[in-house]
């Protein structure tokens, strides 16, 4: 089920991101949460690829089940990590066999033992190369999205150069952008303004993560380079030993953030759910999106 017609007919979408579970117990919880998420009727659900390019099969299986069993558009992440051109061609064949038509093309994170990303022989160094290759081999068979970084990519301190990287991905054939998580909406709107100045017209969907754990928040922001606003940091420090209070704060903060984004013209919200339904469900219902 291609999401291309969905974007053509709807000015705003809301969507979720999941990741492949690592254990049978986690897999069972994932599908329990999917039962709750489907009641919200999301526009689409994206599924990440495992660390260092692992769990490709799990990613495709989950996307296939999302579409077949839940009737929701699924988006499979596709990364450059440990992927040669032949590997990508094999994956394209499997995607077609499973009737998956939506991709999010990413470079992916380097292996933990490496300081920098090193593409495999006959592989891809940048997501723009991956997008271009998929387009060359498949034409318009797949709807392709890419990532955007409102605060700049962690590995690219030159923000103007990072904006040009995004333009290259769109010029290569990307149809929409999902942004990295952020907590200050000014970062998103400043980013969109600068991207538009480069004559990039595709929709840029903001990524929002309801905070559920202070320690997890610190880990995620260190990994992706997102900034925690000082007031948010101060508020969370006061309640960090009360998990229920942290969760309530995360729901309220995300709801307020999303309300402002939508009021100022954002074309929807992409929620980083961490495979949990409760907080995202509360935010969506509080906003009246369900």
Domains of the chain: 4-287 (3.20.20.220)
The predicted pLDDT at position 159 comes to 84
The predicted pLDDT at position 111 comes to 63
The predicted pLDDT at position 53 comes to 46
3-state secondary structure the chain: CCCHHHHHHCCCEEEEEECCCCCHHHHHHHHHHHHHHHCCCCCEEEECCCHHHCCHHHHHHHHHHHHHHHCCEEEEEEECCCCEHHHHHHHHHHHHHCCCCEEEEECCCCCCCCCCCCCCCCECCCHHHHHHHHHHHHCCCCEEEEEECCCCCCCCCCHHHHHHHHHHHHHCCCCEEEEEECCCHHHHHHHHHHHHCCCCCCEEEEEECCCCCHHHHHHHHHHHCCCCCHHHHHHHHHHCCCHHHHHHHHHHHHHHHHHHHHHCCCCEEEEECCCCCHHHHHHHHHHCCC
Q: Which regions in the chain score pLDDT beneath 70?
A: 50-57, 110-115, 290
The predicted pLDDT at position 153 comes to 80
The predicted pLDDT at position 82 comes to 86
Report pLDDT digits (tens) over 236-271.
999 999 999 999 999 999 999 999 999 999 999 999
155 flagged as catalytic: no
Active-site choice (17, 64, 67, 175): 17
The predicted pLDDT at position 115 comes to 65
The predicted pLDDT at position 52 comes to 43
The predicted pLDDT at position 288 comes to 86
The predicted pLDDT at position 277 comes to 93
């Amino acid at each position: 089920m291609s999401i291309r017609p969905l974007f053509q007919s709807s000015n705003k979408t809301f969507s979720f991101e999941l990741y492949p579970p690592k254990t049978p117990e986690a897999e069972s919880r994932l599908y329990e949460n999917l039962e709750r998420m489907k009641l919200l009727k999301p526009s689409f659900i994206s599924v990440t690829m495992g660390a260092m390019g692992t769990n490709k099969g799990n990613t495709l299986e989950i996307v296939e089940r999302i579409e077949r069993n839940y009737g929701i558009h699924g988006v499979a992440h596709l990364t450059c990590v440990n992927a040669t051109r032949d590997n990508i061609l094999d994956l394209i064949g499997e995607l077609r066999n499973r009737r998956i038509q939506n991709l999010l093309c990413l470079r992916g994170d380097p292996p933990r033992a490496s300081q920098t990303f090193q593409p495999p022989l006959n592989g891809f160094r940048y997501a723009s190369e991956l997008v271009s290759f998929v387009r060359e081999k498949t034409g318009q068979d797949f709807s392709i999205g890419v990532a955007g970084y409102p605060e700049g990519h962690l590995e690219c301190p030159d923000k103007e150069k990072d904006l040009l990287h995004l333009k290259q991905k769109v010029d290569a054939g990307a149809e929409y952008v999902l942004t990295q998580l952020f907590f200050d909406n000014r970062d998103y709107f400043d980013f969109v303004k600068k991207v538009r100045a480069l004559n990039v017209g595709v929709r840029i969907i903001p990524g929002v993560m309801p905070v559920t754990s202070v320690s997890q928040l610190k880990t995620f922001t260190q990994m992706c380079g997102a900034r925690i606003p000082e007031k948010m940091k101060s508020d969370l420090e006061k309640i960090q030993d009360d998990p229920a209070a942290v969760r309530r704060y995360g729901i309220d903060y995300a709801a307020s953030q999303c309300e402002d984004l939508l009021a100022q013209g954002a074309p929807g919200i992409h929620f980083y759910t961490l495979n949990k339904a409760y907080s995202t469900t509360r935010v969506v219902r509080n906003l009246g999106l369900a």
